Amino acid sequence: MTQSETKTRIKGPAIFLAQFLGPEPPFNNLESICRWAAELGYRAIQLPTSDTALFDLALAAESQDYCDEIAGTVECAGLEISELSTHLQGQLVAVHPAYDAMFAGFAPDELRGNAEARRQWANEQLLYAARASRRLGLNAHATFSGALLWHTVYPWPQRPAGLVEAGFEELGRRWLPILDAFDEASVDLCFELHPGEDLHDGVTFERFLQATGQHPRANILYDPSHFLLQQLDYLQFIDIYHQRIKAFHVKDAEFNPSGRSGIYGGYQSWVDRPGRFRSLGDGQIDFSGIFSRLTQYGFSGWAVLEWECCLKHPEDGAREGAEFIRKHLIRTADRAFDDFAKVQTDAQLNRELLGLSD
DSSP string over 175-186: HHHHHHHHHHTT
- 227-264 burial, b for 16+ CB within 10 Å, e for fewer? bbbbebebeebbeebbebbbbbbbbbbbbeeeeebeee
CA distance 165 to 170: 9
pTM of the model: 0.94
CA distance 282 to 69: 38
What does DSSP assign to residue 333?
Answer: P
DSSP-derived 3-state class of residue 243 = helix
CATH 3.20.20.150 fits 5-353, yes or no: yes
**What are the domain boundaries of the chain?**
5-353
- Residue of 8, 13, 10, 39 whose CA lies nearest to 304: 13
Question: pLDDT digit of tens for each residue in the chain (358 aa)?
Answer: 444 444 559 999 999 999 999 999 999 999 999 999 999 999 999 999 999 999 999 999 999 999 999 999 999 999 999 999 999 999 999 999 999 999 999 999 999 999 999 999 999 999 999 999 999 999 999 999 999 999 999 999 999 999 999 999 999 999 999 999 999 999 999 999 999 999 999 999 999 999 999 999 999 999 999 999 999 999 999 999 999 999 999 999 999 999 999 999 999 999 999 999 999 999 999 999 999 999 999 999 999 999 999 999 999 999 999 999 999 999 988 878 777 778 788 888 888 889 997 6
DSSP letters spanning 28-67: SSHHHHHHHHHHHT--EEEEE-S-TTT--HHHHHH-HHHH
CA distance 334 to 313: 40
CB 57 within 8 A of CB 125: yes
Residue 333 CB neighbours (<10 A): 9
**Quick one: 121 exposed, middle or buried, by C-beta within 10 A (0-12, 13-18, 19+)?**
middle
